[in-house]
Structure 1
Amino acid sequence: MSDSYLKKILMKLKKGGLIVASASKNGGYQLARPIGAISIKDVFTALQQLTDDQLELSHLDQYIFPDPNHVAQSEQEISQAFHQAFAAFYDQLDQFKLDHLLKEDAVGTIDWAE
């Protein structure tokens, strides 16, 4: 992984409030919250920066169907279906905490000088 790509990921995680950076001699990055308080949803949304209100419809159907009420109703139904799907997706990700991925003795620090 390139240094620039890693920095982009770290900046997204920092902007998402998941990590903090220290610019001191012994600085670096560390979690902003306890690992058990960070979910996969937190990581996903920080990296993807996508929310369900960013769903944009192309409105191509207005050129196919002459009835604007039909178009508006159909778009509303599609938007609602996506909203419900995103809500269920994010609820599932929010239940999965990062500490679930680690063995009990695996949490620690790395001494990069060694």
Structure 2
Amino acid sequence: MKKLFLSGVLLAVWAIAQGPAQAASFDCTLKTLAPDEKAICANRDLNDADVQMVTTLNLLSGLMMMGGRGALWDDQAAWLKQRQACGGDIACIRKAYASRLNALQGIYDGLNKPL
């Protein structure tokens, strides 16, 4: 399966630029973090998965027409509820990210690309 090259580049840049107190989609220094967010902040590979997921999501959002973009963000909101249901279970969160990244890759693969 073809990978999102730009997503990988952006992920690397983002990871280098961010300190340990920042995940891609939320601030790890907040006192009001949910259990899943605390687990992501405390676990480097989950934090990296969060960065990759948000970077890929934003890239795809920019490539899609308005209706598709809305559906993409609706799916993201539904996925976020699934991730939150994991609580602090790292294996569950890891599986949720793998599933979401696979779904986002499928969306990218299905886009009509001019080249």
The higher radius of gyration belongs to 1
- TM-score normalised by the shorter chain: which range applies? 0.3 to 0.5
TM-score (norm 2): 0.32
Q: Which has the higher strand share?
A: 1
Q: Which has the higher helix share?
A: 2
